[in-house]
């Protein structure tokens, strides 16, 4: 078996894919959250400031999703084909949300009429909520598993995606993004809008914690196989322990007025949640609920060892470049938002 630094290439690519998806969830998570809470801001100037807070970065954040899709296609083509065909309906809903959200952001400032801007405000917020819920619904179904036949093709109907566990994961994802987005906006605003977002951030922390606790209890009671990894590897409990500490640190930092540290804790929480999901499903990429023998794993879905080796070299060069570019953009647009004639 070909390895790099003693680790199988398939595992390396699983880690790369997981890292890219985590980067996407952290970066696009806050601008989706900002969109989801947009209608809580009542004044026109507040909404413009919130839009311009994500304006320079929201489309760049979505690049990480494209990279994630490319990583899945190149490294695990069997999984790519199965996932994109099985999740056809949720992906279409997700893509429609992406399109309408982009249109709303670009069109809103083109006309001054109040009804025009309020209409696009509703579209922007509703699309952001739909995208967050779609991502959570797909994540929940990947963790829970879907029916696959012997040809590793989806053997169910789209209504089966709306099971209680996946719905709870979807709501938790929305709550997490709204908390993440509210904290980000507190770093970009000041005065009365800042005070409003401070209150919203605390409310969304409560929303997230309640959603997270309910989803965790449901998982332990009704889907015990998702806890197998932690029962068999007691050291793995360090991940949920770290997550509890980072979640607890968020309101602590907000109370101290250190919003940047609260945002870092929120980002780490997202990464740890995805690491937990990865540990629970590994080595499966898509678990078959009808027959585990039909599941798609990192072994039976992988490209050839030579391809994986080349892909790993490309990832080692390309991923840092994208990370540097993203960091440069955030550094360029750091600080509080100021409106001018070029603003949305």
Is 150 or 34 the better-scoring residue by pLDDT?
34
Contact 158, 89 (CB under 8 A): yes
Would you place residue 341 in the very low, low, confident or very high pLDDT band (cuts 50, 70, 90)?
confident
- DSSP state for residue 146 in the 8-state scheme: B
Q: How far is CA 126 from the centre of its chain?
A: 17
CA nearest to 319, candidates 75, 46, 20: 20
DSSP H helices, the chain, are: 9-36, 44-54, 58-61, 63-75, 77-86, 88-107, 114-144, 164-188, 191-222, 228-232, 238-255, 259-281, 305-332
Look at residue 337 and give its three-state secondary structure: coil
Token pair 């600080």: residue? 335
Is 74 or 104 the better-scoring residue by pLDDT?
104
- Cis omega before residue 338 (within 30°)? no
CA nearest to 185, candidates 42, 53, 330: 53
Per-residue pLDDT reduced to its tens digit, 95-117 = 999 999 999 999 998 898 999 99
CA nearest to 266, candidates 180, 332, 192, 343: 180
Per-residue pLDDT reduced to its tens digit, 83-97 = 888 898 999 999 999
CA nearest to 22, candidates 208, 280, 272, 281: 272
Contact 2, 152 (CB under 8 A): no
- Candidate from 11-15, 59-63, 196-200, 254-258 with smallest mean pLDDT: 59-63
Output the CA–CA distances (angstroms, integers) from residue 297 to 11, 27, 82, 201, 273, in the order listed.
11, 28, 12, 39, 21
**Which residues lie across from 4 on neighbouring strands?**
7
Output the CA–CA distances (angstroms, integers) from residue 342 to 52, 79, 110, 139, in the order listed.
10, 44, 11, 38
pTM: 0.93
**pLDDT of the residue at 265:** 97
Per-residue pLDDT reduced to its tens digit, 290-319 = 888 899 999 898 888 888 888 888 888 888
**pLDDT of the residue at 251:** 95
CA nearest to 59, candidates 88, 116, 94, 99: 99
Look at residue 41 and give its three-state secondary structure: coil
In sequence order, what E strands does 59-200 have?
A: none
Contact 299, 81 (CB under 8 A): no
Q: Are strands 7-8 and 3-4 parallel, antiparallel or unpaired?
A: antiparallel
Contact 319, 28 (CB under 8 A): no
Contact 66, 134 (CB under 8 A): no
Token pair 């996407």: residue? 24
């Amino acid at each position: 078996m070909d390895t790099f630094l003693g680790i199988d290439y398939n595992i390396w690519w699983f880690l790369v894919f997981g890292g890219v998806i985590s980067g996407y969830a952290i970066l696009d998570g806050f601008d989706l959250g900002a969109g989801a809470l947009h209608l809580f801001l009542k004044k026109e100037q507040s909404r413009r400031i919130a839009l311009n807070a994500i304006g320079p970065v929201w489309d760049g954040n979505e690049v990480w999703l494209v990279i994630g899709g490319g990583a899945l296609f190149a490294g695990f083509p069997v999984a790519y084909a199965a996932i994109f065909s099985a999740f056809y309906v949720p992906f279409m809903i997700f893509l429609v949300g992406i399109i309408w959200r982009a249109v709303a952001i670009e069109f809103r400032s083109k006309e001054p009429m109040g009804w025009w801007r309020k209409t696009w405000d509703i579209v922007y917020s509703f699309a952001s909520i739909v995208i967050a819920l779609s991502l959570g619904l797909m994540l929940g179904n990947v963790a829970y598993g879907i029916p696959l036949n012997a040809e590793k093709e989806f053997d169910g109907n789209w209504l089966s995606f709306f099971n209680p566990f996946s719905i709870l994961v979807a709501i938790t994802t929305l709550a997490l993004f709204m908390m993440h987005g509210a904290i980000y906006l507190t770093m970009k605003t000041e005065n009365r809008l800042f005070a409003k977002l401070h209150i919203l951030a605390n409310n969304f922390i409560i929303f997230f914690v309640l959603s997270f606790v309910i989803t965790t209890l449901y998982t332990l009671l009704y889907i015990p196989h998702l806890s197998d990894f932690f029962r068999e590897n007691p050291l793995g409990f360090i991940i949920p322990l770290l997550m509890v500490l980072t979640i607890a640190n968020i309101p602590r930092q907000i109370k101290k007025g250190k919003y940047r540290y609260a945002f870092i804790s929120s980002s780490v929480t997202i990464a740890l949640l995805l690491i937990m999901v990865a540990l629970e499903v590994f080595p499966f990429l898509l678990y078959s609920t009808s027959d585990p023998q039909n599941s798609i794993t990192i072994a039976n879905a992988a490209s050839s060892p030579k391809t994986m080796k080349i892909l790993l070299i490309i990832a080692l060069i390309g991923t840092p470049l994208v990370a540097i570019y993203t960091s440069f953009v955030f550094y360029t647009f750091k600080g509080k938002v100021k409106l001018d004639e070029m603003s949305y």
